Each structure stands twice: as C-alpha cells, then as structure tokens.
Amino acid sequence: LKRHPEFSPHEYWAVRPLRTMLSIAARRARFAVPKVSTGTALGRGPWAVMSARSFCAAAPATAPAEVPEGAIPEDRKTRQSMLPNEMVDYLDQYIVGQKDAKKAVANALRNRWRRQQLDEEMRQEIMPRNILMVGPTGVGKTEVARRLAKLVDAPFIKVEATKFTEVGYHGKDVDTIIKDLVELAIRRQRSRLEAEFAPEVNTRVEEQILTALLGRTTEQHEKESWLKHLRSGALDERFVSIDVPNEPRMDEILAPGGDQGVKMVKVSPNTGKPERKKVTVKEAKKRLRQGALDKLISQELVTKKAIEAVEQEGVVFIDEIDKICQARGARYSGDASAEGVQRDLLPIIEGCEISTKHGNVKTDHILFICSGAFSAVKPSDMLAELQGRLPVRVELKALTKEDFERILTEPKHNVIMQNQALLGTEGIRLTVGAESVSELARVSSDINTYVENIGARRLHTVLEKLMEEISFDAPTMPEEKKTIEVTPDMVRTSIEPLLKKTDLSKFIL
C-alpha cells in the first residue's frame, strides 16, 4: 500500500495501526488472523486503496457494542461508555428503590465519558459533580456507589470519616485516602495485565517444567501425555530442579519536595544469575509464572497507568460524614475527628496534589461521594466551603414493609436464594411462600420502628434467627424431613425474642 501511487503517505499511516490492533484482538480471542498484505486481505491494484479507506471509515469511533439487558459488558471501554439508563437497569437487579441516588451517580459517571470526548483545554476545565447522599443507615448508599464503580471498572475506595484525625494529632491523615487508592489501583492494574498475559505465560511455564522433567529429546505423543498429567495436577508433588529468578531489589528514596513523611519505592531488577533449586512441581509453576510475568510487565508502566487511572477515573466514597459535624451553636469540643477533618478534606475534594511513595497524584478529577444519616445534625451544619464542594445532594428514603418484600424477592441472588443455596449443599429443599415473605417483611419493619432502624441489614438478623435451628440440624436431618416449608407461624415463633426487646423508655413521659 505504501508503494502504491494512488495511496498517499498520511493514508498509509492511518491504516498501518490496523495490523497491530487486529493482532492484539486475535491474541485475546485466541485465534489467528491472516496477515494483512498487498497480496491477500486488501489485494493489489487501485481497488486496494478503496478497500483500506472504506475499512477505516467503517469502524465507528464511539459506538458501544450491544449488550443483553442487565449484563456487564466484557470490554472495559464499552462499560465506561454505558448510558445512564443502562447503569440504572443494572443497579435495579441488586438494589431496590432509591432511583434518585442511582440517577445521580449514573450521571456523574456518564459525565466522565463525556469529558473524555472533549479537547484537552476544555477537559481540564470541567470538574466532577461530587455528591452528598443523605439518608438512614442500611438503605443502599454505599451499595449504589460500589456497584457502579465496579460496573465501569474504576478504582474505588470506601473510607469512614471518623477514622481520620486533624493534621497534628495522632492518627490517620486524610492524605492516606489517596495513598490507599493508589495502592489498590496498582494491584488492579497488575492483575489486569497478568490476566492478559496468562495464556502465553502458562504455555511457557509448562514447556519449562516438562523440559526439566523429561529432557529435550522426548517424543511428541509422550510429551502430550505428560502435559495432560501436569495440567490435571497429578505431578504437583514431584520434585524438579529449576532456575529460580532472584527477587527484585526495592530501595526507598525521599519523595520529591523533601517531604520527610513520604518515601518513594524504587524497584531495581536483580542482575545476578538465577539460583538453581529443587522444588515441587506445584511450587515451580508458581515461581516460574511469577518470573515470566515480571519480565513481561514493567512495574514502572503499571505504576504510571495506575496513577493515571486514579486521577481520571477514581471514586472515593466517604461514609459517616455527619459524625464529624457539630450542630450550630455547639461549644467546641476539641475532638480531633471533628471540624478539623472537614478543613483537611477541603483541598483534597477541591483538587490538590498528594505525595505518595509512587509519585504525586492530582485529585482534581477524582469523584467524591459523601454520605451520612444526619440524624443528630443537618447538612447545613457542615462547613460552608465543604457544602459548596458537594453540589449534588440526594436524599434516600427509609425502607418500608413493601420495600422489604421487594428486597426479599426481586434482587439477583437475594437473601432467600442465598439461604436456599447454602442449605441445598446439605440436601435441604427450602421453600418460602408469599405469605411467609410478607410476614418476614412485617416483622423486620416493626423491629426497625420500635427498636432501632438499621435498614435492610435487619433482614439478615431476622433470617439468621429463623434459620438458626434448621442450619444446626441440617447435616443430621433424616431424608424424609429434608423438605422444609417456612410458614408465617414459624416466622413469628422464631422472631418472638427479638420483638420482646422493645425499648419502652422512649414512651415514658
């Protein structure tokens, strides 16, 4: 194509990456793609130019692949470009109600995709729409953010605001939020690359172990037989002599800027000769695989990609934000986990540069989601500057009896299905009728009303009490009694002790 008189140089360079992209796709899909040349795929003569041009024009730039409703797309880019209604449909499989919270988080994540489509100058000016969720405990605040961050494959961390102290006091500074997020992103990035290289590395490791066991002069059919035993684990306890690569050397150096509290880690490959050791085949697989992955994966590249992912895609969920607030007019208590932590959070949420041992991280485009029950204080009791950095406010509603019924039946892998699956391993066939589900929901709602409102977590308490005797007797239960139907009377009888613990002090004048 490059030599063809009707094919201009800039068109050649536009087509050339296609070969690379097709090769990568073929390797991931584990099939071979015919080599693109002037004599095969695109042919010879003037029509070859038109074929190449039409092939380039046919590929849509941002069109996401069609995915069945409710399923998670395999392609990471497709997941990141999901539409808000698709994200909400996915969340509806696991979380009942709370449409406002689902829409707010879906819009915030979609805005990230929109920002990536803009030019660099405009992209730097657009800040994330940070969210404040207000609602009682156990209604799905954390679950909404965690599920969506997993869906779009974004670095996500959840922290409790009460775990941090003001700078100058003994305890954890708020900077550790970003440091922990970077560590998590590095592990995710490396795991992703290891999964991508796994087929190639496993083949190489098997070849090395078979060579150590049999030598190089082995018949092909005999080698295939040994390979079958190796993959089945039959040779795991055999000993084999292999060259074990030395561990890389890790040196700590002072972070840029002279920050005495932050050190950077410099990883230097060990240039010494591999050490000959006699280990089991199982251990040899592990060591050889790790050594091969270390050669293929550059730690510097992993760290660079991880920091980039944190800066552009990171999601930080700060729970119990109301516990570091004080009511208006309240006397200063001197608590190291109060308003001082709010002041320390201000620059991080607004956007600053945090020093970590892997390098500096900018927080300008990290999405922050704060949540709290705000039962003793109000959102307006937060520092005005912090309120301004959380522009999107969503109120989540307390759960009702009808919500509890939906939670027990609608979500994918709901708690009733979980208990049926667990008891099914003992041969127990558990059935819960509609009347029993209604009674479970009523009892859970009553206990939340008269004892303590802990939201959907109350269902776990009620179901564990209901299943206590069944779970204990399941292994020794005779076959004729292994079909169990939960009735409303069983629910009332087993939950009666919980209902008797109602705190009556609140009704005394």
- Please write the tens of the pLDDT for every residue from 17-76: 454 445 444 544 443 333 333 333 334 333 333 333 333 333 333 444 444 444 555 555
pTM of the model: 0.68
What's the pLDDT score for residue 35? 39
Contacts of 245 by beta carbon, 8 Å cutoff, 6+ apart: 270, 274, 287, 291, 294
d(CA 103, CA 125): 24
Long-range contacts of residues 195-198, Cβ cutoff 8 Å, at least 24 apart: 196/28, 197/293, 197/296, 197/297
pLDDT digit string (tens) for 233-263? 888 888 888 777 665 555 555 444 444 444 5
Q: What's the distance, Cα to Cα, between the start and end of the chain in Å? A: 91
d(CA 333, CA 223): 75
**DSSP string computed for 26-54:** HHHHT-------TTTTS-SSTHHHHHHHH
CA distance readout (Å), 206 to 115, 244, 274, 294: 45, 15, 19, 17
What's the pLDDT score for residue 368? 92
Cβ atoms < 10 Å from Cβ of 110: 19
DSSP 164: B
d(CA 290, CA 51): 44
Are the C-beta atoms of 454 and 405 separated by less than 8 Å?
Answer: no
Are the C-beta atoms of 401 and 459 separated by less than 8 Å?
Answer: no
CA atoms within 13 A of residue 47's CA, in its CB half-sphere: 6
CA distance readout (Å), 211 to 200, 214, 376, 434, 445: 17, 5, 70, 62, 66
Asked whether the predicted pLDDT for residue 169 surpasses 70, the reply is no
pLDDT digit string (tens) for 404-449? 888 888 888 888 899 899 988 988 888 888 898 998 998 888 888 8
* Block residue for tokens 């074929």: 51
Tokens of 172: 């954890």
CA distance readout (Å), 431 to 409, 420, 435: 12, 8, 12
Mean pLDDT of the chain: 76
What's the pLDDT score for residue 508? 58
d(CA 387, CA 157): 21
Cβ atoms < 10 Å from Cβ of 192: 13
d(CA 84, CA 88): 6
Spatial CA neighbour of 381 closest among 335, 321, 316, 318:
321
Q: What are phi and psi of 154, to 5 degrees?
A: -105, 145
Using CB atoms within 10 Å of the CB of residue 448, give its burial: 0 to 12 exposed, 13 to 18 middle, 19+ buried: buried
Tokens of 109: 């994540």
Rounded average pLDDT over 161-183:
79
Rounded average pLDDT over 373-396:
87
DSSP H helical segments within 410-486, as ranges?
415-424, 434-450, 457-473
